[in-house]
Amino acid sequence: MIELYLLMRVLHVMLGAFWVGAVVFMAFFLTPTVAELGPDGAKVMAGLTRRGVLNIIPIVALVNVASGVWLFWRMTSGFDRALSGTPNAMVFGTGGIIAIIALHIGLLAMRRNILKAGALAAKAGPLPDGAEKTALMAEAMARRKRVLRAGPIVAVMLLVTTALMAIGHYV
């Protein structure tokens, strides 16, 4: 049983580091740079999408959250109320809840809008200049702005989660 625990803990820490690092990089560096590039930024996002970034990060996040729930379940002997109310369990639980909310925002506000903006830009690309192309590009831009707003929120949430996980055993 100790082997499974150690495997889950290593998996949770490594995937968490990857998830937080990827989101922080994307929110504070990549996405603003892509926005500054204008139409060329869409090419960068298309390249990342082809390489599976928008599928890999959610999978990593989901496995990270699942391993965290398992670790919490084990720590609290099956979510026992008395054990779940201890200070360290409350810190870990709060971090877990924040991570789950961040995952939802990442999937709904970020990933969905990035994919939709890319599809709209691709649809508008071959069209001649005109009202339809302008409308499609405006919708794509609105979706990119949603990503620009949501990214830093998710990044900060994950940084707070990381801090809580780091101190959870010591409270």
pLDDT tens for 51-87 read: 999 999 999 999 999 999 999 999 999 999 999 999 9
Is 15 or 122 the better-scoring residue by pLDDT? 15
pLDDT value of residue 134:
92
Mean pLDDT of the chain: 94
Residue ranges of domains in the chain: 2-170
For 52-76, give one letter per residue: b (16+ CB within 10 A) or e. Answer: ebbeebbebbeebbebbebbbeebb
pLDDT value of residue 156:
98
pLDDT beyond 80 at 39: no
pLDDT value of residue 125:
85
| Residue 12 contacts residue 68 (beta carbons within 8 Å) | yes
pLDDT by residue (tens digit) across 26-38?
A: 999 999 998 899 8
pLDDT value of residue 151:
96
Provide the terminal-to-terminal Cα distance of the chain, rounded to the nearest Å.
26
pLDDT value of residue 72:
98
Count of CB atoms situated within 10 Å of the CB of 139: 16
pLDDT by residue (tens digit) across 111-144?
A: 999 899 889 988 998 899 999 999 998 999 899 8
Q: Which amino acid is at 107?
A: L
CA distance 155 to 166: 16
Q: Within 13 A of 170's CA, how many CA atoms are on the CB side?
A: 5
Instruction: List the one residue out of 106, 105, 111, 119 whose CA is nearest residue 46.
Output: 119
Q: Which amino acid is at 169?
A: H
